[in-house]
Amino acid sequence: MDRRNKNIVKNLDWGVIIIYLVLVLFGWLNIYAAVYDGEHSSMFDFSCRYGKQIIWIGASLLIALFVIILDPKFFTQGSFFIYVAFLAMLVVVLVIGAETKGAKSWLGIGDFGIQPSEFAKAATALALARLLSSIDADFKQLKTKIAAITIIAIPMLLVLLQNDTGSALVFCSFIFVLFREGLSSSVLIFGFVCIVLFILALLINKYILIGILLVVCIALWLIIKRISHRTKIWLFLACFLVSSAFVFVVDIVFENVLEPHQKDRIEVLLGKKEDLKGVGYNVNQSKIAIGSGGFVGKGFLNGTQTKFNFVPEQDTDFIFCTIGEEWGFLGSSLTILLYLILCIRLVKMAERQRSKFARIYGYSVASIIFFHFFVNIGMTIGLLPVIGIPLPFLSYGGSSLWAFTLLLFIFIRQDASRLELI
């Protein structure tokens, strides 16, 4: 047992752990800066958010330690059980949960509340890994595909029912995992084309767009015909017809399916609407905060945008504003690089796993963290619509920090014992 523990400590991927610690501490500094208004002096005032975050961080470290000590089989064997337990909690939240900011996603336990949807991501990752790593699973089979998509779709739907669209969207990140496990790359391309068409349909007149699509399809056909003689014209015709139909559907979806605030956010992003006092306020103030940071930033605790509350949610979803304002391009680009390094490292770690379970789980971790990073920062710098999900490890909040710690350290633990297993 002793020897095993020594090996584990040696085999832990300390690079990832250091990145984790750096992000968490940097997050705390920025939470302190965002809340700081020159009046509170003690950094350990537990009635303040930065004081509370210290507790969350302490608890996270305990969770990390606990996960490392725990037998990794607990998560591999118990994955379905954990998954079902969290599904149950999601249902419970729907019934008795507390509502904040329009989303019914909080479960109160005493004075504290936790957000089961944050943990559901990890649970889903475990279940998906378990499913796809079982001996009889073959991703080429439709059965497996349906099972995998069901595992992802159930919690996603439950979170959507909580009215927490942002967290529900995170489940889309599993597409990277499925892609790695054999999902046809045309699905990725199809998804990408859909997004592009969606944006274009909102920006350009429908009929002009269809004209453009026609030209593009004919051009593609002509080009490919030269390269390969086996092209069939009906394929391009179908492409054109489907995409044309999609363009028409976009309007209907946009008008009828999306909530008014979601429509506003998209229209603000696309520049179709400018309402700096209303819907556009957050993003505009966020861009001002980041943009005003300049190259080296205004310095720790010197950000006026964040310190004086011009940016709402500046310690949670908009924490990146504080970084941009006070630490400038240096700080914010370093943060982005840290996330990139973390995600790429996780992918590489996943690839070195012998167990399929660990690999799939590792991809899930990388995908989830990347998706959060992509959506959150994209939102604060005005490249994506406002979708309220936290920045992993940096944003204020117990549930989010604990859930990400759990998510990450389960994989770190798996990775540490990758040589023992099998």
Site string for another protein, 290-329 (x = CB under 8 A): xxxxxx--------xx-xxxx-------------xx--xx
Read off the tokens for 131: 């499913």
Least gap, CB of 340 to another protein (angstroms): 4
Q: Which DSSP string corresponds to 72-90? A: THHHHHTHHHHHHHHHHHH
Least gap, CB of 61 to another protein (angstroms): 27
Least gap, CB of 134 to another protein (angstroms): 17
- Which residue from 370, 404, 409, 411 is in contact with another protein, where contact means CB under 8 A? 370
C-alpha to C-alpha distance for 288 and 318, rounded to whole angstroms:
12
* Closer residue to another protein (CB): 108 or 294: 294
Residues 402, 115 contacting (CB under 8 angstroms): no
At which residue do the structure tokens 């080296």 appear?
A: 296
Residues 269, 283 contacting (CB under 8 angstroms): yes
Phi, psi (5° rounding) for residue 31? -65, -40
Query: Which ranges in 274-418 belong to alpha helices (H)?
Result: 281-292, 304-307, 319-351, 356-380, 398-416
- Which residue from 197, 366, 387, 394 is in contact with another protein, where contact means CB under 8 A? 366
The one segment of 119-127, 233-241, 370-378, 406-414 that binds another protein by CB under 8 A: 370-378
> Applying CB under 8 A, does 176 fall inside the site for another protein?
yes
* Closer residue to another protein (CB): 203 or 330: 330
C-alpha to C-alpha distance for 339 and 336, rounded to whole angstroms:
5
> Applying CB under 8 A, does 170 fall inside the site for another protein?
no
* Closer residue to another protein (CB): 78 or 312: 312
Amino acid residing at 119: F
C-alpha to C-alpha distance for 57 and 413, rounded to whole angstroms:
19
Least gap, CB of 329 to another protein (angstroms): 4
Least gap, CB of 128 to another protein (angstroms): 16
* Closer residue to another protein (CB): 300 or 374: 374
- Which residue from 182, 191, 211, 278 is in contact with another protein, where contact means CB under 8 A? 182
* Closer residue to another protein (CB): 263 or 265: 265
* CA-derived radius of gyration, the chain: 23
Closest C-alpha among 35, 56, 88 to residue 393: 56
* Closer residue to another protein (CB): 263 or 287: 287
The one segment of 75-83, 181-189, 203-211, 216-224 that binds another protein by CB under 8 A: 181-189
Give every CB contact of residue 327 below 8 A, 6+ residues apart in sequence.
293, 296, 297, 300, 334
C-alpha to C-alpha distance for 294 and 422, rounded to whole angstroms:
52
At which residue do the structure tokens 């059965």 appear?
A: 143
Interface residues with another protein (CB under 8 A) are 37-38, 176, 179-182, 185, 188, 285, 287-295, 304-305, 307-310, 324-325, 328-329, 332-333, 336-337, 339-340, 343-344, 347-348, 350-351, 363, 366-367, 370, 374, 377-378, 381-383
